[in-house]
Amino acid sequence: MFTPKYPPPDTASAVPAPAPTTDTPATTTPTPTPAPISAPVPVVPASNRPTVQLTPGSALALAAGGGAVVLVVGAVLVSMLLAVAITGVSVALVAVVLRLLVKDLHNHR
């Protein structure tokens, strides 16, 4: 799964090697060896994914939609913070009232 998978070598574009001859050369001079043929550079295929092209109208709509999302999320977060603050004040007020009631009960005995 994690081993790389290489594509098969492209042999169609490479120049085939000359076929060996059975004739023996009569001269004693060494034959020059052909230069090694470099492998062709693999070409990256074009992506099949569609490209997104933004027109000025769609860019404006996208910006307006993003702004609306930011405003809605901000309003929700502020309202949640306000709800927590109101709940905290209410709990503190109830605690003060209960403390005063308990203190009053202990003083009248």
What average pLDDT does the structure give for the chain? 82
pLDDT in tens, 48-58: 777 778 888 99
**Would the pTM of this model clear 0.75, i.e. be above it?**
no
What DSSP state is assigned to residue 11? Answer: -
pLDDT in tens, 36-84: 777 777 777 767 777 778 888 999 999 999 999 999 999 999 999 999 9
**Euclidean distance between the first and the last CA atom of the chain, given in angstroms as a whole number:** 81
